[in-house]
Amino acid sequence: MSTDAALKVDPDQLPADVGVLKSLVVQLVETLNERDRRIAKLEHHMDLLVRKVYGRTSEKLDPQQLPLFEKQVADGGEPPVIDQSAAETPSTSSAKRRRGRRKKPDTLERRDVVHDLNEAEKQALAAGGQLVLIGEEVTEQYEWEPSCLYVLRHVQKKYVCRPVLAKDGQPAERQIITAAKPPQPIPGSSAGAGLLAYLLTSRFCDHLPYHRQERIFGRHGLRFSRQTTCDWARQLAELCGPLYRLMIDEVLASDVLHSDDTPVKVRDAHQKRQYLGRFWNYVGDEEHPLTVFAYTPDRARDGPAEFLKRYRGYLQADAYGGYDRIFTDSRGAIVEVACWAHARRNFFEARTSDALRAQTALAFIGQLYKIERALGERSQTEWRELARPERAAKIAQHRQEQAQPVLQQFAAWLDAEAPRLLPKEPIRQAIEYARNQWTALNRYCDDGRLAIDNNAAERALRGIAIGRRNWLFCGSDRGGHTAAVHFSLVASCLRHGLDPFAYLRDVFTRLPVLLAGAHKPGDLRHLLPDRWPVQ
């Protein structure tokens, strides 16, 4: 029976007893309240769905909503010192966007196009006199030429020794000598280091799938099939295997490690399977500034557990349940650090169901981020020349003095509000997430090397999130492992402001030579993105 039909009651059929009528009214009120809660929940879910599909991803707040928090505090106690800038955004960047045209880089080639009067114009304008050149007016504009696909011919000179008489007077055997060609990235392949670097940069940095690159090269008069380019990518991942394992060792030597994961569709044509794989990233600290990706065919705990089995230090991540066993099994060797951005997001999404409480929580969290922005500015200015341990000690000291009082007030507010809410309400779920993670959320105050959130790992995943809209899926688990190697190289390049194409072209040129000779793993360290020079 529908709700409207249930509310159509014939007065003649109502009981005459007052007590029964009171009970009926109570039941009707409870039914209406339950319906209102269900409608509010559905509206909340609809708002989230519409915002994720059509809305902005920004989590900035309207400053005009801040008086809600002020009213709440006026009813219940003294407020922490909070301004509008603290509640707007957790971003740590305060620099304003520059307006106007930027200066053109001096590294670009300049080509002059001279515009002059012709002889007829000079004679007409001179009017019997003489025109004198007094200067030039120079304006610059950017120009573009299509990239060039060319054939590199390796010409190996061949020599033969002239016949030499042996001791018995007979001519000696002729010996043919061919000049050696340097080891190639893919032995026997028709692709050179520059072409391979361009293919991988387009695929893993610019998010161009192989079938689009196939059409692009077709416009140059040559087609490389996507099967061929996939095979090239796999062989290059095998070539870079020693460098990739060295990157893992460097990242695992960090004191602080950020980690996150994102799903990827896998469509294995050979096994006729479709499933969700996972890319995990591991972001090293400032002394080991590399970003490494790993692939697993599912989101089971075994993937990160295997990767982190040799790690000792802080691990900052979300509240994924698979990490709990890792923290337990390590017996304190891996210390959990939670993410305030995740906690904040839950309150932000609960605004449509309980605006007052959500705004109050966001104001508390905004105050924490305001403190972090001030510490970040001081780290870049007056503390910039300090050694890392000294700078970390100062940051921890200021967090204890400034952030801890805010955290204590926030904890008291969470404990007071939780019992007043139903378990299924979005705001109650946001509160319970923060309470369950409270120890890990407060841990960043104990050590200045820690960040307030896990945004470093989330930013590193952004390339995959954008790219999978174009290339859609991985073709197999082997393809996932191949992509993880190349994503690691490209992400580490971008972290240091390097041109991925220049880096990969140089690595594909020098790495085969190093691997062909006797070498130790440490001999490849100068090829890591954080140490790579152009030679």
Q: What is the enclosing helix (H) or strand (E) of 314?
A: strand 313-316
SS3 (DSSP) at 283: strand
Tell me the C-alpha distance between 197 and 503, whole Å: 8
Q: Which of 296, 307, 306, 305 is nearest to 264 (CA)?
A: 296
List of E strands, 454-534: 473-474
373 token code pair: 């922005």
How far out from the chain centre does Cα 489 lie? Answer: 14
pLDDT value, residue 171: 61
Is 434 within 8 Å of 343 (Cβ atoms)? yes
14 DSSP assignment: S
pLDDT at residue number 79: 44
What is the C-alpha separation between 365 and 87, in angstroms, rounded?
Answer: 7
pLDDT at 253: 96
Q: Evaluate whether 247 touches 488 at the Cβ level (below 8 Å).
A: yes
- Residues written for the chain: 535
Complete DSSP assignment for 233-262: HHHHHHHTHHHHHHHHHHHHT-SEEEEEEE
Residue 268: name the closest of 37, 475, 113 by CA.
475
β partners of residue 165 = 171
In single-letter form, the type of residue at position 142 comes to Y
Instruction: Quote the longest CA-to-CA distance of the chain.
Output: 139
Residues 159-193: b if buried by 16+ CB within 10 A, e if exposed: eeeeeeeeeeeeeeeeeeeeeeeeebbbeeeebbb
* 10 CB neighbour count, 10 Å cutoff: 6
Residue 97's pLDDT is: 55
Give per-10-residue mean pLDDT for the chain (535 aa): 48 63 70 82 84 72 58 47 47 52 78 88 80 86 80 88 63 75 90 94 94 89 88 96 95 96 91 91 95 94 93 93 88 93 92 84 90 94 92 95 94 93 91 95 95 94 91 93 97 95 95 84 87 72
Number of C-beta neighbours around residue 405 at 10 A: 13
CA angle centred on 464, ends 256 and 461, rounded to 5°: 20
Please tell me whether residue 336 adopts helix, strand or coil conformation.
Answer: strand
